[in-house]
Structure 1
Amino acid sequence: MPKATETPDTPVCLELSKVLADSYNLYLKTHGYHWNVRGPQFNSLHAMFMSQYTEMWTALDEIAERIRALGELAPMSGAAFGNLSSIKEGDATKSANEMLRELADGHKTLIATLKNALKVAEEASDDPTVDLLTVRLGSHEKHLWMISATLED
C-alpha cells in the first residue's frame, strides 16, 4: 500500500522526486519562455523552446510512473515541487538572451540533480531507474548544448 505523502521515504524515490520537480519547473519555465520570447530571434527560439518543452512534457510522465512502479506516490502539488526543486520560476520580462541563460542554468541544475539520482539508483542496483535517468541526462545535455550554441557570438 503506497504511503500518503508527497515526500517519498526510499532514497531512490526521493531522488526521482527531485528529478521530477526540477524537470517540471524547467518544463514550465521553457513553456513560458516559448510564449513570451521577443526580439529578432523570436521564430527560432519559439520553435526551439517548443521542441524542448514537448520532449520534457513526455518525460514527466515517465519519471512519475517510475516512482509509482517503485511503490511510492509521485509528488503532484506546487508546494511539493517547490520543496523538492532547485529551479526557480521564470520571468516573462527578461530579454531573449536572459531567458536563454536562465534555461542553460536550469539544465545545468537538472543535470546535477540527475547525476546525483543516478548515483543513488546505481548504488541500489535499480537498473530500470538507471536506464531512465541515463536517457534523461542525455536529453538535458543535448538541450543545454543547443541553448549554449545559440548564446555563442
Structure 2
Amino acid sequence: MKDTAHDLNATQKTEVVEGLHQALADLSVTTKKAQFFHWNVTGMSFGSLHALFEEIYNDHFAAQDEVAERIRALGAFTEGSYAEALDRTTVSEAKTVVSAEQMVEDMAVSQETISAALKELAEAATSNGDPLTEDLAIGRAQVHEKFAWILRAHLG
C-alpha cells in the first residue's frame, strides 16, 4: 500500500488530521478514565474488572502513539494538552467514583463513542484518498467495538 501522505492536498490533510485529533482526544480521555476505574473499582467483580480496565488503558496508551505518529506523518503537529483533549472529546470524563456496574456502562459507552468517531475518520480518509489512515481507523474501530462487547457482556 502506497503512503499517500505526500499526495494529499492541504484541504484533504486538514480533514483527515482533524479526525485524527478527535481520535487522539477520545483515546486520551478514555485512557485516563480506564486508569481511574482500574484504581477505584470494588465489589465481587473486582478481579476481572481491575484487569479489564488495565487492558483498556494499556491498549489506549499505545494507540495514542500510533494516532499521533500518523498525524505527524501527515505533516501536522499533535495537540498536547489535556485541556485541548477535554475541549475536543465527545467522551465523558470520569470525575467521581461510581459503582462497578456504572463504570462498566460508562466505559462501554466510551468505547462505542470512540468506535463511531473512528468510523467517521475512516470515511473521511477514504473520501480524501488516504488508505493508510483509513486502515488505522478501521483497525482501531474494531478494537473499540470488541471492548464495548466485552464490557456489555459483564452487564448481562
Is contact 2:26-2:90 (8 Å) kept?
yes
Q: 1:44 aligns with which of 48, 66, 73?
A: 48
Match of 1:13 in 2: 17
Letter aligned with residue 120 of structure 2: N
* Greater than 4 Å deviation, 4+ residue runs: none
Letter aligned with residue 53 of structure 1: Y
Q: How big is the alpha-carbon RMSD for the aligned residues of Structure 1 and Structure 2?
A: 1.1
SS state of the match for residue 75, structure 1? coil
Tell whether 2:136 aligns with 1:117: no
* TM-score, scaled relative to structure 1: 0.91
Tell me by how many angstroms 1:143 deviates.
0.4
Q: 2:67 aligns with which of 46, 63, 68?
A: 63
SS state of the match for residue 17, structure 1? helix
Tell me by how many angstroms 1:53 deviates.
1.1
Q: What stretches of structure 2 of length at least 5 have no aligned partner?
A: 1-12
Tell me by how many angstroms 1:147 deviates.
0.1
Q: What stretches of structure 1 of length at least 5 have no aligned partner?
A: 1-8
**Percent identical residues:** 37
Match of 2:143 in 1: 139
Quote the Cα distance in structure 2 between the aligned partners of 1:82 and 1:49.
20
Is contact 1:34-1:50 (8 Å) kept?
yes
Tell whether 2:130 aligns with 1:126: yes
Letter aligned with residue 43 of structure 1: G
Aligned length: 144
Is contact 1:23-1:110 (8 Å) kept?
yes
1:27-106 → structure 2 map (5 Å cutoff): 27-106=31-110
Letter aligned with residue 147 of structure 2: H
Quote the Cα distance in structure 2 between the aligned partners of 1:53 and 1:150.
18
Tell me by how many angstroms 1:132 deviates.
0.7
Quote the Cα distance in structure 1 between the aligned partners of 2:76 and 2:52.
34
Tell me by how many angstroms 1:91 deviates.
3.4
Deviations 1:110-137 (Å, cap 9, x if unpaired)?
1111111111001011011011111101
Is contact 1:36-1:92 (8 Å) kept?
no
Quote the Cα distance in structure 2 between the aligned partners of 1:93 and 1:51.
19
